Amino acid sequence: MIRNIRSVTVICIIISLFSGSIFSESVFAGSNDFFSRENIITIAKGFASLYLLNKVNKLITEQNEPEPVFEQQIRTEKSSGISSGIDNKIIVIDAGHGGSDPGAIGKGGLREKDVTLDIALRLYQLLRAYTKARVYLTRDKDQYVSLQERSVMANSLGADAFISIHINAAENGIEKGIETYAHYNSPEEAWALAWYLQESLVKELGLLDRGLKADNFHVIRETKMKAVLLEVGFISDRTEEGLLKQPATREKAARAIYQGLLTYYDKG
């Protein structure tokens, strides 16, 4: 509708420009009179009108650019009033490492603890803004929190899901991609959550899908709820370290985890 109105407006202005109100017939009279003062003024007015027309059209176009699909989706979810499966669930977001424990460090100096905290904070804000879930962070700043403190906190809250965010590293420096862990003895529901988060991260970030894996990490072993550990790319790979340095990549990762959680709870 807006495009149609804009098109009609543009056509009307163009017609007015060439209907004689701006470019009068005297402009195209004899060549001897072409450079008369009146004609030059008329021509100048015409060019000025065309310039203004272009600026107005550009302004209208910019103001009516469609917002990103993700923004449209979460705005719709928030305003629709439709309850989501994640509503009232207790979600604990665990930013790996912190304080005296930097985690893995890339060749360019990027520290795992900084990336995991940034992604965790972004995810926290998304969940708080667009769902009715009860959301907690094991750390909200650069501080050391022991593995036991993280699991005890989640258990004491009676959490429904525990999401531990990490960045991978490999000694050979050539490994790439995303992988998601659950414990060997995790129930089927935890593996389902891991699958949705892995799928969403791979789709959003476009990195190699390394699949689901089982391990004995403390935070997924000692927690009593559905618990997964995400390895969002390899900080030891120069290309992926470069991506992880970018705020846009961290925002995509947070949005992917957010969307994976929503999909899991809505389909569960």
User: Could you give the angle at the alpha carbon of 77 between the alpha carbons of 129 and 211, nearest 5°?
Assistant: 85
Asked whether residue 19 falls in the same domain as residue 48, the answer is yes
Phi, psi of 44 (to 5 degrees): -60, -40
Co-location of 145 and 169 in the same domain = yes
- Percent of the chain exceeding pLDDT 70 equals 69
Q: Decide if pLDDT at 79 tops 60.
A: no
- Structural domain total, the chain: 2
Q: Is the dihedral of CA 239, 245, 246, 252 positive or negative?
A: positive
Q: Give the per-residue pLDDT at 267.
A: 84
0.95 exceeded by the pTM? Answer: no
Active site residues: 231
CATH number at residue 122: 3.40.630.40
Q: What is the pLDDT of residue 84?
A: 84
pLDDT in tens, 160-179: 999 999 999 999 999 999 99
Q: How far apart are CA 261 and CA 268, in angstroms?
A: 10
Tell me, yes or no, whether 18 and 103 share the same domain. no
pLDDT at residue 262, as a whole number: 97
Q: What is the pLDDT of residues 8-55, one digit of tens each?
A: 444 454 445 444 444 444 444 454 555 566 655 565 566 555 555 555
* Residue type for position 63: Q
Question: Which pLDDT does position 125 carry in this prediction?
Answer: 98
Query: Considering the chain, what percentage of its residues have pLDDT values greater than 90?
Result: 68
Based on the fold, state whether residues 145 and 177 are members of the same structural domain.
yes
Domain limits at 251? 69-267
Q: What is the pLDDT of residue 39?
A: 59
| More confident call, 113 vs 59 | 113
Q: 31 with 149, same domain?
A: no
Confidence of residue 242 (pLDDT cuts 50, 70, 90): very high
**pLDDT in the model for residue 151:** 98
Q: Which of these three, 63, 80, 113, is where a domain ends? A: 63
- Selection from 182, 208, 176 nearest residue 195 by Cα: 182
Query: What is the edge-to-edge ordering of all strands in the sheet holding 226-234?
Result: 134-137, 90-95, 161-168, 226-234, 178-183, 209-215
Within 10 A of 16 (CB to CB), how many other CB atoms are there?
12
| Residues 36 and 133 occupy one common structural domain | no
Instruction: Answer yes or no: is pLDDT of 124 > 90.
Output: yes
Same domain, 34 and 80: no
- Rg, the chain, Cα only: 28
Torsion of CA 114, 117, 123, 126, to 10 degrees: -90
Model confidence at 219, pLDDT cuts 50, 70, 90, reads very high
Residue 147 and residue 75 share a domain: yes
Q: How confident is the model at residue 123 (pLDDT cuts 50, 70, 90)?
A: very high
Q: Write down the pLDDT at residue 225.
A: 97
Residues 163 and 59 in one domain: no
Same domain as 59, residue 77: no
Judge whether 187 and 226 are in contact, CB under 8 Å.
yes
Decide which of 14, 29, 63 is a domain's last residue.
63
